[in-house]
Structure 1
């Protein structure tokens, strides 16, 4: 095959290393091995004879060792070089060689993403200063240092895609003068750096054809430039986690007619929310943790299909318009009053109203969302009972109603379960328009990215608030009803929630016993039933919960002997304290590395329980007896002069016997 010119094996599962025979394919123009499982090192003899090579794509493999750009000295025709995203801890790309060399090629596409570029110095490749034909460059996730390389944009006017995220670039982002335009640039991502200062006021003139602008997780400040409104093709604008202040100007929303994703979280924006009526395609709007004021107006109503609407932790107030069609709503940390309006039965649903001052009952409209994944209403002032209609949410993965004033019984029909794969959510759902299906198919990856990098679900787990961040779809399910006024017994049906990872019913008024059906919660990792009125014994069947790492039943009325086998051998006193009639051992407590003891028979455990002295009960009994004796003694001395005189005579003799010598020396 020495006449071979194109070898494209992209996207397979080939293993092993590069064979030396590749060096004999001297007529190769394209060598594309991207997305396989190849390993070993890439040696110079495999490359330097391929002098006609135009495309070298080795990304997404498991190659090891150092790749030096010296290997490409003879490849003067090279225009595509892709070495990024190696699944290896040892692979590095070194471009700064000694003696220094000038690249004989002019690249059009360069991918050095996540390849430990020029480690440990973390410097930008110097050969890039001589490249003028680049159309796409990706240097992301290399932790490169130094000032932001504005010269890279100036010297390559044909650039379409620039990804410099995940580095440590500093300085300001002022790459152009007022007369410079970069008409070709469509994708610019400089997020996750340390760039500060202001965004250029004329950024919309510099980049008129951008479809994506990402500057999140930097140190930008001041106002958001009005000129962003000149970007008519802009589809996604990511400004979160900076120090932007001031109002969100109407001109931005009036000009960016193609905008579908707007991320403004964690800034210092203020004023009232602008009108979004001129953005018919807006699907993602996140502006949490700012200082927006005012109310949610009827301008939010309309035919748009909101996938995520996150206005949490602002200063919004008033009531929500009843016409608002919500698919995903997050308005936590505000001061809204009244009922949550009717919601549509859309697919991509995550309702998070936590940390507000909502009052009243849980609105019935929420129960008409059959595809709801997350319902978080924690930290409000909701009252009333949890109705049985909540059981209509068959795809619910996470229910968090903690820190409210809910009362009544826990519904016995709760069904928290793992949802289906994302790709299957649009199938077999009647009445979904072709536009919605198209939007869903286009936005699936954005939803995953949002959950990975933005969405932090705070639960009360492991006896303290915990932020669970990451891709939790299909990985986690939780039920948290803690810190309410719920009463009655714990439903046995909760034991049928086989996929439950976290269950928190603490700080309520629950009574009765711990259901033995909890033995079916084989995926449970955290179980908190503390601060209730539970009684009876802890079921020994819970010893079979091998995934349980947090267990808390403190401050109840439990009795008997706590289990000691399996995971229960690792739980400390804090898991059981506040139960006067409950006893527990210390066989291997605090040493989770020890293997679990051999299981014992139930009748043997019961025999051991009968012979155990409850130390806590003993202490209480001893204290009560001591107080009673002291009160009786004082009563006798107060009412009987003879015994009172005898008591003082006894005390006087005791003092003289103990301190007589000391008193004699002191006075004589």
Structure 2
């Protein structure tokens, strides 16, 4: 993997007990004595001691990029009114700190122990580092503690076990621990989550868990579980086990785990998650879990026929089972009439398997079925939904979906969502979709539909429609006025077709619009009709749009993604962008790179302004973009030096905590259990990759990149740039940079691509570059470098052309070699290999 996750500790301590009551007069007197007099209890400001503790905490914060602690001022007496603070209404003691997602950097101050009545502490999703402070365990009133998604290292303090009031503990991390004995003290524990913590070195962990006799919820997702246990240990065979919800997913467990998981039956287990393991087959024990309602087996290697799969579930389980998910499990055979055996099913997900043949129409007759997902198989399906109760249907990526028979063509008022993507519906538009009168979600992309959609069909969309996806077909023609065709907050995707003409009027409460890769022309003044606050995603790239960007763009404060690349826009930028900003060429925007980008959009993660006419220096304000993952200012006319503050770009220094964040979800169409629960937008960008221009999509989630090539930059490479230890791509080629290559450049060990060609660098190649073992592309040609290329390293494996134009260089692999020089036998893949899959492999090595 290319991401260094650092040691991220997640520790949530949540007690289901009521808040500590200071009801007795003795307690009130004692509390008042502590702070001077009993009258202090009734005052409407917090206690001085607690205010000072909070101010000391603030002083330990080295960076507060959003100014969230700006209300914490010495001159304000009442700290109960400060941001993130909650006080008891009667006693005015500080009881809760909510400082999550503030991106704070610094240390957790010991002063927090002076908040004697604190029962809720949430510092999650910040940049705290070091070890988890031991003093946390002395805060015995804590009922909720969340330190997740920070950069802590080391281990969880064993003293945490002294919090004996604990009823619920949630923990999620990428750390490793060797002992769980401290958990035994938490005798009241009912809810335990330790997702992501490696338990690979913990022996007999099952016995520790079973000692928690009140435990009803256990989640050990992605914990590297070992099978080291006492011979007769079992969750479900233990008389002391009270587990009702069990999550053991993503642990690479194989089928031998069944011997301790299912020796007999359990009448308590309600929900079982064994997803993303290496289980093969389905044991008959599963059919004896008589209380089981939800079974999740997706992402395994079950590899049996569907008929055998159901037979092994026969027993009381089939009577109680309501939700069955076995997607991506290599299940074969046909979806036969046997499905009738599971008449209690409300959700059936068999997507991403190897089912084939004709799907039984008995599926549509299951009396309780509400959600069906059989996508990504090889089924032939007749969509005879009829009057069934099913509200969510995903048939996408199958061999063929057949038009319903006339007997089933009557209007249906239950189906709310239907996804028919890549079902070979074309070339004609499937007019039978009109029978679904209450649709909110309609996806018919990639179906080879090539006719012009008749005008009347644009007018007969269901009135509740929120999501329309006609993308990746060959539909042509002009698009009529859409302003009154949709429900509120609609999502419209007409991308990758042959639509032409001006962009029509769109709904005023538009949430997302993707018209990319069509033939639309004219301006985009239609945007000024959209109501402020709703638009989240706008992709108009790869069209023939012209003119200047309208200033009304700055109204869209919720805009997360704006892609206007590959059009013919001109002029200066208005003060408005989203979280991802792409205006790459052949647009010809001019003027300076606006400083407001760094001042107003500090959550921006992608800034791509390549191939325009920007001039002037790189604004120092760009260093405020602590979430920035991709910076591409290449092919402009920028001058000046590279800012020395580049090491303020935290993601490039520490890595991104949420690599999936480049897949955006912004409107839930269904609940979280359906595969199309949310509309997502996957970022894509055209970037230079190892000397070639490529369009990157899914790979962007791995990429951390700086491309300043083809400008007029001068001066030295700042040493601070070498602090970007998570950077994968650095391209400074075709500038006028000079001086020596920084000696510490070898500390950028994750660099996959380094291009310094076409500058005026001098001196020797730093010996530290021999540590850059991840490099698959290097170009330092056409500089003024001299001396011997460090020998016996991967540097000899690159083509001689990557070193040419440096008259003073010698040694392999160039011709001017010393006697006895040998080229190491390192076989490197061709640098001309194309395709995003090869890029993805490079980034994940």
TM-score (norm: length of structure 2): 0.58
- Paired residues for 1:517-528 under 5 Å: 517-528=744-755
Shift of 1:375: 0.6
Whole-angstrom distance in 1 between the partners of 2:288 and 2:746: 66
1:213 aligned residue: 442
1:478, CA displacement in angstroms? 0.5
Please name the residue that 1:481 is paired with. Answer: 708
Quickly say closer, same or farther: Cα 1:135–1:199, change in 2 above 3 A: farther
Cα distance 1:228–1:159, how it changes in 2: closer, same or farther (>3 A)?
A: farther
1:381 and 1:37, CA in 2 relative to 1: closer, same or farther beyond 3 A? closer
Structure 2 matches for 1:14-413, cutoff 5 A? Answer: 17-18=257-258, 32-35=271-274, 40-42=279-281, 45-46=284-285, 57-60=295-298, 62=300, 64-70=302-308, 72=310, 80=322, 82-86=324-328, 91-95=330-334, 103=340, 106=343, 108-109=345-346, 111-114=348-351, 116-118=353-355, 122-126=356-360, 128=362, 131=365, 133=367, 134-142=369-377, 144-146=378-380, 149-154=381-386, 157-167=388-398, 169-170=399-400, 180-201=410-431, 203=433, 205-224=434-453, 226-227=457-458, 230-250=461-481, 252-276=482-506, 278-280=507-509, 282-297=510-525, 299-300=528-529, 302-325=531-554, 326=556, 327=559, 328-343=561-576, 349-361=579-591, 362-367=593-598, 368-413=600-645
Aligned mates of 1:562, 1:447 — CA distance in 2? 55
1:513 is aligned to 2:740: yes
Q: How far is the alpha carbon of 1:307 from its aligned partner? A: 2.4
| CA deviations over 1:269-303 (Å, ceiling 9, x no partner) | 11212223x332x3322221111111121525641
Per-residue deviation at 1:311? 0.7
Contact 2:711/2:734 (<8 A) preserved: yes
Q: Is the 2:271–2:292 Cα contact (8 Å) retained in structure 1?
A: no
Deviation at 1:30, TM superposition (A): 9.0
| Ranges in structure 2 where 5+ consecutive residues have no aligned partner | 1-235, 814-821, 830-845
Give deviations 1:541-560, integer Å, cap 9, x for gaps: 22122322211111222221
Q: Which residue of 2 aligns with 1:662?
A: none
Give, in whole Å, the separation in 2 of the partners of 1:579 and 1:490: 18
| Post-superposition offset of 1:40 | 4.7
Equivalences, count = 556
Post-superposition Cα deviations, 1:164-193, rounded to whole Å, max 9, x if no partner, equal 2233x2477677799621210112112244
Q: Give the structure-1-normalised TM-score.
A: 0.72
SS in 1 for 2:794: helix
User: Could you report, residue by residue, the CA deviation over 1:467-491 in whole angstroms, capped at 9, with x for unpaired residues?
Assistant: 3322644x33110011223333333
Range with bigger deviation, 352-361 or 75-84 = 75-84
Give, in whole Å, the separation in 2 of the partners of 1:159 and 1:7.
32
Query: 1:132 offset after TM fit, Å?
Result: 5.6
Give 3-state SS (helix, strand or coil) of 1:181's partner.
Answer: coil
Once the two structures are TM-superposed, the CA of residue 68 in structure 1 deviates from its matched residue by 4.3
Give the Cα separation in 2 of the matches to 1:397 and 1:21.
Answer: 43
Distance (whole Å) between structure 2 residues aligned to residue 443 and residue 162 of structure 1: 14
Q: How far off is 1:7 after superposition?
A: 9.4
**What is the distance in 2 between the residues matched to 1:379 and 1:516?**
31
CA separation of 1:53 and 1:421: change in aligned 2, threshold 3 A: closer
**Pairwise CA distance, 1:339:** 1.1
Give per-residue Cα distances to partners, 1:416-452, cap 9 Å, x unaligned: 4417646999xxxxxxxxxxx997999999999745x
Give the 3 Å change call, closer, same or farther, for CA 371–580 of structure 1 in structure 2: same
Structure (1 or 2) with the larger CA radius of gyration: 1
The answer to whether the 8 A contact 1:48-1:71 is kept is no
Q: 1:509 to 1:447 in 2, by over 3 A?
A: farther
Instruction: Render the CA deviation track for 1:355-374: whole Å, top value 9, x for unaligned.
Output: 23223122344233221111
The residue number in structure 1 matching 2:191 is none
Q: CA deviation at 1:398?
A: 0.6
CA contact under 8 A between 1:68 and 1:94: conserved in structure 2?
yes
Give yes or no for contact 1:224–1:248 (8 Å, CA) kept in 2: no
SS in 1 for 2:786: strand
Q: 2:717 aligns with which of 490, 513, 519?
A: 490
Cα distance change on mapping 1:342 and 1:422 into 2, 3 Å: same
Q: Matches of 1:157 and 1:441 in 2, distance apart?
A: 20
